Amino acid sequence: MRDRDDIARLVREFYARAFADPLIGPIFTDIAHMDLEHHLPIMCDFWETVVFRAGIYRRNAFTLHEALNRRAPLGGAEFERWIELWTATVDDLFAGESAERAKAQARRIASSMRRRLAGGSGSALETIGTRERLAAAGEIDEVREAPAR
């Protein structure tokens, strides 16, 4: 992943997958009524800022998600699915330092959003991601579910 064109490719492919997903797709299509063509440049600004530290995203992502959460509570399953789709999309399209940063930052964002919106701990998501990376690297034998709190 090198530039905004790569970010746009990633974001467009992610949203194609997310809109088609039976768990989180309806959040985008039926609840948020997202106009993808309008939303894509905003999300490209966001992810270009996150991945390349471009400093061009100037909105408050939390307040938008807070309003959405009031209409349809977003829980752990939705955040975990978002991370799964984002990670798979990044891995299918890119490799390298920027791709790893995009995945790591997505996990942090999901953890923070989940904690702030749902009032639950976001730490399980970060732990799951850490265990997945360790298992993929052969440093642990398996990935187990985090214990319920």
Contact 81, 21 (CB under 8 A): yes
What pTM does this model have? 0.77
Q: What is the reported pLDDT for 131?
A: 47
Domain ranges, ordered by start, for the chain: 4-136
Give the tens place of pLDDT for each residue, 30-45. 999 999 999 999 999 9
Surface-to-core class of residue 103, CB atoms within 10 Å of its CB (0-12 exposed, 13-18 middle, 19+ buried): buried
Position with higher pLDDT, 80 vs 130 = 80
Contact 134, 140 (CB under 8 A): yes
Give the tens place of pLDDT for each residue, 41-67. 999 999 999 999 999 998 888 888 888
* Confidence band for 7, pLDDT divided at 50, 70 and 90: very high
Architecture of the domain made up of 4-136: Orthogonal Bundle (1.10)
